[in-house]
Amino acid sequence: MADAYTNRRDWEHAELVWSGLASVQPGRPYTVRSPERETTVDRLVIYLPPTADVDSADRITVQGVTYQIEDEPARWPAGRLSHITIKAVRVRR
């Protein structure tokens, strides 16, 4: 990826980079209502092991549903409790 403006991920040929156990917690969903459209934004907070190779341009699949990662993953170095926290979203119409 040269920079954030010119290159995009090739999701047609996506590769699995990590798979394993994680703690997946529901975030606060919200609905946007307007005369033009009504959408619902689903949010998750996901806690991964510190060795998971994930960044903000990746997507994550939980129980067959694909979410986009919001913001940079937060890395928490805390000895035996080290982990990565991810905020994930998907928009439904």
1 pLDDT more than 50:
no
The reported pTM is: 0.78
Could you give all domains of the chain from N- to C-terminal order, each with its CATH number? 11-92 (2.60.40)
Q: What tokens appear for 50 in the block? A: 């510190």
Which pLDDT does position 67 carry in this prediction?
93
User: How buried is 6 (Cβ within 10 angstroms: 0-12 exposed, 13-18 middle, 19+ buried)?
Assistant: exposed
8 pLDDT more than 80:
no
Beta bridge partners of 68: 59, 89
47 pLDDT more than 90:
yes
- Across residues 69-76, what is the average pLDDT? 92
Which pLDDT does position 5 carry in this prediction?
61
